[in-house]
């Protein structure tokens, strides 16, 4: 039987590690049989950037975007292939342009999540626009930055409204630090946000219908931020963290996104959950890297084989009906959001598909990570990331953590 062929496009910037991993696992999976018995084969290529006619027909069936959050030419191409051609894009180029961290805060506050108190303050320096001076002189109201900070309460954070890679983030403990940070913000539009005294910083990576929650250590260097710890959250808090991550993604139609939450006792505070290009680097995820690649391959294959169609409209009223209901408890709202998210991601259908059409993907990934091809990727990644005098240290560091994953995964598969 002839297999239907699907072309996956990778829209990339400087990344090399996870694309090589994705390409290899997709190749090793080979043709996949759908529920109807039809066979599906997959090709993958890296997308080049060039002029395009708005009436061009793209060759790609699915595109993973890691570039358009800062490079606008390919962003407009993504909009075109989404609107005109129905190409499945991870993530929606529309909501990631319009729904930055500020909009995400607003939406999740309306849904009742425990977002810390947040205030948007005007630019420190004039924006580069000839109309600004007149507009500001006539309509900008003077404000008391110290009074705003006092109302929020110290300590607090100042951070850009659109965020990204911890750019421009300052922890502020007093008025002197407040004014220094504001002076340095220049033409960045900034939030002031209440700092939370937390027990655990949890970072969840959601890819389609799957979520991995990790204990995050933001004060550590990047290669130590993701701690290998499987039992750091109580079951209720862990479930809430997963629900928040999937709620955010289903609300905004994002399918490849990370969410940061602070956990204090039984309370969960989401603080950052609009990441157009979530961290999937081998050097930072280390132990969790195989899970991320496996989940990404599985979700792409599921979407292509089942003919899943990307939804461009948000259908936000379904969520707001629960968020605006004064008679629902917080837990009842979370339960409703989880059902809506599971419905959007077709969670049951996805699990059934993986069990029947991808039954050996776990073994395929394990064999690869335990073998020489992955070790070659690890060495190449270290050599391209760190100075020569640190190569041996980081190769040993990553080999140790990935070796631990191989042992744990071998034991897990042996127990099933």
Please check whether residue 264 is in contact with residue 196, taking contact to mean a CB–CB distance below 8 angstroms: yes
Q: Report how far Cα 279 is from the mean position of its chain's Cα atoms.
A: 7
Same topology for domains 99-114+197-275+309-345 and 117-194, yes or no?
no
Instruction: Find the largest Cα–Cα distance for the chain.
Output: 72
Residue position matching structure tokens 């959007």: 344
Note the pLDDT of residue 167: 78
DSSP 254: -
* CATH number of the domain located at residue range(s) 99-114+197-275+309-345 in this protein: 3.30.470.20
Please check whether residue 402 is in contact with residue 415, taking contact to mean a CB–CB distance below 8 angstroms: no
Note the pLDDT of residue 132: 86
What is the rounded end-to-end Cα distance, in angstroms, of the chain? 33
pTM above 0.85, yes or no: yes
Average pLDDT, the chain: 94
Predicted confidence (pLDDT) at residue 164 exceeds the cutoff of 80: no
Cβ atoms < 10 Å from Cβ of 119: 16
How far apart, in whole angstroms, are the C-alpha atoms of residue 246 and residue 147? 36
Peptide bond into 155 cis (omega under 30): yes
User: pLDDT (tens digit, 9 = 90+) per residue, 347-380?
Assistant: 999 999 999 999 999 999 999 999 999 999 999 9
Note the pLDDT of residue 125: 86
Predicted confidence (pLDDT) at residue 165 exceeds the cutoff of 70: no
Class for the domain spanning 4-98: alpha beta
Domain spans in the chain, listed from the N-terminal domain onward: 4-98, 99-114+197-275+309-345, 117-194
Note the pLDDT of residue 277: 86
Note the pLDDT of residue 376: 98
Note the pLDDT of residue 162: 82
- Cβ neighbors of 388 (< 8 A, separation 6 or more) are none
In the structure, what pLDDT confidence band is assigned to residue 3 with cuts at 50, 70 and 90?
confident
- For helices 391-415 and 372-385, what crossing angle results, to 10°? 140
In this structure, the dihedral spanned by the alpha carbons of residues 271, 104, 16 and 296, taken in order and rounded to 10 degrees, is 100
For the domain made up of 117-194, give the CATH fold. Answer: Dna Ligase; domain 1 (3.30.1490)
The mean pLDDT of 385-390, rounded to a whole number, is 98
The mean pLDDT of 191-214, rounded to a whole number, is 96
């Amino acid at each position: 039987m002839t297999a239907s062929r699907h072309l996956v496009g990778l829209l990339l910037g400087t990344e090399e590690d996870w694309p090589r991993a994705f390409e290899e696992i997709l190749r090793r999976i080979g043709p996949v049989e759908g529920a109807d018995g039809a066979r599906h084969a997959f090709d993958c290529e890296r997308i080049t950037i060039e002029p395009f006619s708005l009436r061009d027909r793209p060759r790609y069936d699915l595109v993973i975007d890691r570039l358009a959050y800062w490079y606008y030419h390919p962003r407009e191409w993504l909009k075109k292939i989404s609107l005109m051609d129905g190409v499945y894009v991870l993530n929606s180029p529309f909501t990631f342009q319009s729904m930055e961290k500020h909009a995400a805060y607003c939406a999740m506050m309306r849904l009742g999540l425990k977002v810390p108190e947040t205030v948007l303050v005007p630019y420190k320096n004039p924006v580069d626009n000839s109309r600004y001076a007149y507009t500001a002189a006539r309509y900008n109201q003077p404000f008391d930055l110290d009074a705003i900070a006092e109302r929020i309460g110290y300590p607090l954070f100042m951070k850009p409204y659109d965020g990204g890679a911890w750019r421009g983030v300052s922890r502020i403990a007093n008025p002197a630090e407040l004014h220094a940070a504001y002076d340095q913000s220049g033409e960045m539009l900034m939030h002031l946000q209440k700092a939370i005294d937390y027990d655990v910083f949890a970072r969840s990576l959601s890819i389609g219908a799957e979520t991995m929650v990790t204990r995050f250590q933001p004060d550590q260097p990047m290669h130590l931020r993701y701690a290998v710890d499987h039992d750091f959250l109580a079951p209720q808090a862990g479930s809430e963290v997963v629900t928040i991550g999937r709620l955010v993604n289903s609300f905004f139609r994002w399918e490849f996104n990370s969410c940061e939450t602070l956990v204090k006792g039984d309370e969960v505070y989401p603080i950052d959950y609009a990441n157009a290009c979530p961290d999937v680097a081998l050097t930072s995820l280390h132990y969790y890297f195989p899970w991320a690649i496996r989940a990404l391959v599985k979700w792409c294959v599921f979407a292509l084989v089942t003919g899943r169609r990307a939804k461009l409209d948000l259908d936000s009223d379904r969520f707001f009906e629960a968020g605006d209901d004064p008679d629902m408890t917080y837990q009842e709202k979370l339960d409703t959001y989880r059902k809506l998210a599971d419905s959007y991601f077709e969670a049951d259908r996805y699990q059934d598909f993986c069990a029947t059409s991808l039954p050996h993907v776990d073994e395929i990934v394990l064999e690869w990570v335990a073998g020489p091809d992955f070790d070659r990727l690890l060495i190449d990644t270290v050599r391209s990331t760190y100075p020569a005098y640190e190569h041996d240290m980081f190769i040993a560091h990553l080999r140790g953590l990935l070796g631990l994953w191989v042992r744990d995964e071998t034991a897990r598969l042996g127990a099933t």
